Structure 1
């Protein structure tokens, strides 16, 4: 199931269910995507306004970068859940013999490392939002400054 294609209500209901996914990484990616979307919105609300002609080029760049980040975060929503599902699949591997136990143990370790990288990537990429938010807060449309701040 593609989480990013769910309705907001459906996503929230799935999160609150007994299903272990979506989890923290997917939620972090969703929130980062929302933040990028707000930055992009403020940039768009600035572009084409005579009062902000001096920053139009910058706001176009901000909007483009925010859109790119938004799409990266949306992809990370499902990437996080897929990584977690790999952990669960590894735990279901056979463990009848010593060889199977070793293969299973290695698969669990590798899947766990892979799953830890996704939230890390969300956090690392989210750092790029701060400069964009600063641009729309300080030079963007003042009527939407609170959206940029959020």
Structure 2
């Protein structure tokens, strides 16, 4: 069963259950997908507006990129849940003797490393979403600029949630050099998202005052 194909009602009910998946990581990916989808909507509404014929081709291409990001983020809803399940399975491995303890530890470390990848990808996709939103803040149909603001908030929230998951899993990695490299990658993406979000907010605020 794919989480991303559930109805909103079914997904929310599953989220509210005692099952640990889907959890915050999947929600971060879902919120990011909403943001990318909103970007696509604004791009298409701009591309099809006669008043914006001069940027129609650019916005059509931008919409295609936003669709790819939406698809990637939807897939990450399931990827994050699956990676959490692998971590849980690793922690449940037997540890009756030294050999089992060693095997269990190796499995846990591998699972934790794998669990960091989906949220890092959410961060990277969210950064790209904000980049598209920044372009639309300049050239987008002014009738739907508030949607660009909402898209940016979604992308920023997705990135912040994903960053939390990276931090939590990285804290349990024994290979501290690898952990630091992953954390540096996370911080770089999060800083980029926050910067872009602030610039977009400023642009939209200035246009609202015109």
Which position in structure 2 is the counterpart of 1:117? 117
Q: Where does structure 2 lack aligned partners over 5 or more consecutive residues?
A: 151-210
- Describe how 1:25-44 pairs up with structure 2 within 5 A: 25-44=25-44
Higher RCO, Cα 8 Å, sep 6+: 1
Alignment RMSD (CA, Å): 1.1
Partner of 1:93: 93
1:87 partner SS: helix
Q: CA deviation at 1:44?
A: 0.9
Per the alignment, residue 204 of structure 2 pairs with none
How far the C-alpha of 1:92 sits from its partner, in A, is 2.0
Please, which moves more after superposition, 21-30 or 67-76? 21-30
The separation in 2 between residues aligned to 1:135 and 1:149, in whole angstroms, is 12
Structure 1 moving runs of 4+ over 3 Å: none
Stretches of structure 1 that go unaligned for 5 or more consecutive residues are none
TM value normalised by structure 1: 0.95
- Deviation of 1:31 after TM superposition, in Å, equals 0.5
Query: How far apart, in 2, do the equivalents of 1:54 and 1:85 lie?
Result: 49
Q: What does residue 54 of structure 1 align with?
A: 54
Task: Render the CA deviation track for 1:54-75: whole Å, top value 9, x for unaligned.
Answer: 1111101110100000000001
Distance in 2 (CA, whole Å) between partners of 1:104 and 1:38 is: 43
Mapped to 1, the partners of 2:74 and 2:46 lie a distance apart of 24
Partner of 2:206: none
TM-score scaled by length of structure 2 = 0.69
Give the structure 1 partner of residue 132 of structure 2.
132
CA deviation digits over 1:86-119, x for unaligned, max 9? 0111122222221111101110111011112211
Which runs of structure 2 are paired with 1:52-91 in the superposition (5 Å)? 52-91=52-91
Identify the residue that residue 6 of structure 1 maps to in structure 2: 6
1:18 aligns with 2:18: yes
SS at match of 2:35: helix
Deviations 1:15-70 (A, max 9, x none): 12111111121111101100000000011111132100111111011101000000
User: Aligned residue pairs: how many?
Assistant: 150
Shift in Å at residue 138 of structure 1?
A: 2.0
